[in-house]
Amino acid sequence: ATNVGILAIDIYFPPTCVQQEELEAHDGVSKGKYTIGLGQDCLAFCTELEDVISMSLTVVTSLLEKYQVDPKQIGRLEVGTETVIDKSKSIKTWLMQIFAEAGNTDIEGVDSTNACYGGTAALFNCVNWVESKSWDGRYGLVVCTDSAVYAEGPARPTGGAAAIAMLIGPNAPIAFESKYRGTHMAHVYDFYKPDLASEYPVVDGKLSQTCYLMALDLCYKNYCSKYEKFEGKQFSISEADYFVFHSPYNKLVQKSFARLCFNDFLRNSSYIEKEVREKLGPFLTLSGDESYQSRELEKVSQQVAKHLYDEKVQPTTLVPKQVGNMYTASLYAAFVSVLHNKHSTLCGQRIVMFSYGSGLASSMFSFKIQDGQHPFSLSNIATVMNVSEKLESRHVFPPEKFVETMKLMEHRYGAKDFVTGKDTSLLAPGTYYLTEVDSLYRRFYAKK
């Protein structure tokens, strides 16, 4: 199979959200901390009616329907998630209901988990399968589904929730450049979920930021050296049209892109102008560790990268700023944003992706874009995703109601023997929702 990659995408996020500006006032932090400091506009969250299983049922059903894909045509289904509802039973098995109904139970794959990286692991598995000798000619399907919730405190505004489904096959409009993958994996305790009685992670925020940037540097180095080996020329950010980052919050994305520019400066890339060289010159002597701690470098590199950020990154930021961190779905929601904003001009372009999951696992890889055939054309993908309407039709909850919902969900986490509220008025038709968890912890869902 050639040009293996993403044929179709759909995205779902809950219709319930809270404005970051209102959350700032409610939390009593200084005005601008979440909106400018973190760079976030809005945060989506699941009410008691929704969870990672319902969101994944919703998005998979929607993708199959809207692109008219027969469930029998799926041969591999992989789920990336870090929201563990059952420690043994995969979310993939939940999704099998859709396929079993159509008479197809011959589907490989289970769930992949490592913080926000599981979606990328799932995607690599599917792409590798289509490129392998085990491929039986059918499509792969990747699902990223997460509800990111934090305890009260500084991390809470970096929550979010969404599910994304991606159809994988040959001759894709979004084709993997399979040879250019750079990976960095290591053992760290920056963010983890050791308390099985709670949905909230234990997080060392500052350490997670540094780990993210160090992983970015190393993945970029590995990506560049593979590119250079195959292409016989240096890679720099001028070789790609867009850079898409895992997006816990927008400020980190701004810092990350500036970091890539600093890397290019250190590697003596020819596109860097004399003026920029002079501005970054004083930081040449910093050790690696010092460079992660230098506020001055952070400031100057963001300044010199600003015009390139506006061109190559800003179009990728819409959904992550509006929905928040979606963990495994975050990177792909940023990718959805550039498809939404730029679908008519992407042909022939290269898009570089950076995936990071705490703990840690990280990879940099890239897509080459070409126009696919209906229904897998870029313009149809943008139409199906319908991002603007989904964002605009949301219901803004006041912060008090958001906090109340978080409290209820804390009680419900790991609980049994309850039914959910009957009011589904905020959900769009076709949305799956949780109705009941019985005395044996079995979950029941219905479709609106």
Is 42 labeled as catalytic in the residue annotation? no
> Does 117 sit near ligand ACO (CB under 6 A)?
no
Residue holding tokens 């506006």? 310
The only residue of 37, 170, 375, 399 in contact with ligand ACO, by rule CB under 6 A: 37
> Does 209 sit near ligand ACO (CB under 6 A)?
yes
Task: Kindly name the residue from 46, 50, 144, 246 that is annotated as catalytic.
Answer: 246
Relative to beta strand 182-185, strand 42-44 is unpaired
For residues 224 to 263, the per-residue mask of contacts with ligand ACO, x marking binding by CB under 6 A and - elsewhere, is: ------------------------x--xx-----------
Residues in binding contact with ligand ACO, number by CB under 6 A: 22
Closer to ligand ACO by CB, 225 or 293: give it: 293
The only residue of 15, 170, 205, 375 in contact with ligand ACO, by rule CB under 6 A: 205
Residue holding tokens 């943008």? 382
User: How many angstroms separate the most distant Cα atoms in the chain?
Assistant: 69
> Angle, nearest 10°, between helix axes 205-231 and 250-266?
40
> Does 120 sit near ligand ACO (CB under 6 A)?
no
Is 211 labeled as catalytic in the residue annotation? no
CA distance 244 to 223: 14
Q: Which residue is nearest to ligand ACO (CB)?
A: 37
Is 116 labeled as catalytic in the residue annotation? yes
Task: Kindly name the residue from 116, 126, 219, 224 that is annotated as catalytic.
Answer: 116
Residue 36 near residue 56 (C-beta atoms within 8 A) = no
From the DSSP assignment, how many helices (H) and strands (E) are in the chain? 14, 18
CA distance 426 to 409: 18
Closer to ligand ACO by CB, 123 or 252: give it: 252
Query: Which element (helix H / strand E) includes 209?
Result: helix 205-231
> Does 390 sit near ligand ACO (CB under 6 A)?
no
* Stretch near ligand ACO under the rule CB under 6 A, chosen from 27-35, 268-276, 396-404, 429-437: 27-35
The only residue of 54, 112, 120, 158 in contact with ligand ACO, by rule CB under 6 A: 158
> Does 335 sit near ligand ACO (CB under 6 A)?
no
Tell me how far, at minimum, the Cβ of 399 lies from ligand ACO, in Å. 16
Task: Kindly name the residue from 82, 177, 199, 298 that is annotated as catalytic.
Answer: 82
Residue 79 near residue 95 (C-beta atoms within 8 A) = yes
Can you point out the beta strands (E) in 188-338? 191-192, 202-203, 242-245
Residue holding tokens 């990111």? 148
> Does 116 sit near ligand ACO (CB under 6 A)?
yes
The only residue of 117, 191, 227, 245 in contact with ligand ACO, by rule CB under 6 A: 191
> Does 306 sit near ligand ACO (CB under 6 A)?
no
The only residue of 38, 313, 338, 346 in contact with ligand ACO, by rule CB under 6 A: 38
* CB neighbour burial string for 72-90, b if at least 16 within 10 angstroms, e if fewer: eebbbbbbbbbbebeeeeb
Tell me how far, at minimum, the Cβ of 401 lies from ligand ACO, in Å. 21
Tell me how far, at minimum, the Cβ of 30 lies from ligand ACO, in Å. 4
Residue 65 near residue 12 (C-beta atoms within 8 A) = no
CA distance 309 to 288: 23
Closer to ligand ACO by CB, 178 or 183: give it: 183
Residue 175 near residue 1 (C-beta atoms within 8 A) = no
CA distance 445 to 50: 9
Other beta carbons within 10 Å of 389? 9
- State the catalytic residues: 82, 116, 246
Q: Which residues bind ligand ACO (CB under 6 A)?
A: 30-33, 36-38, 116, 154-155, 158, 191, 203, 205, 208-209, 212, 248, 251-252, 325, 358
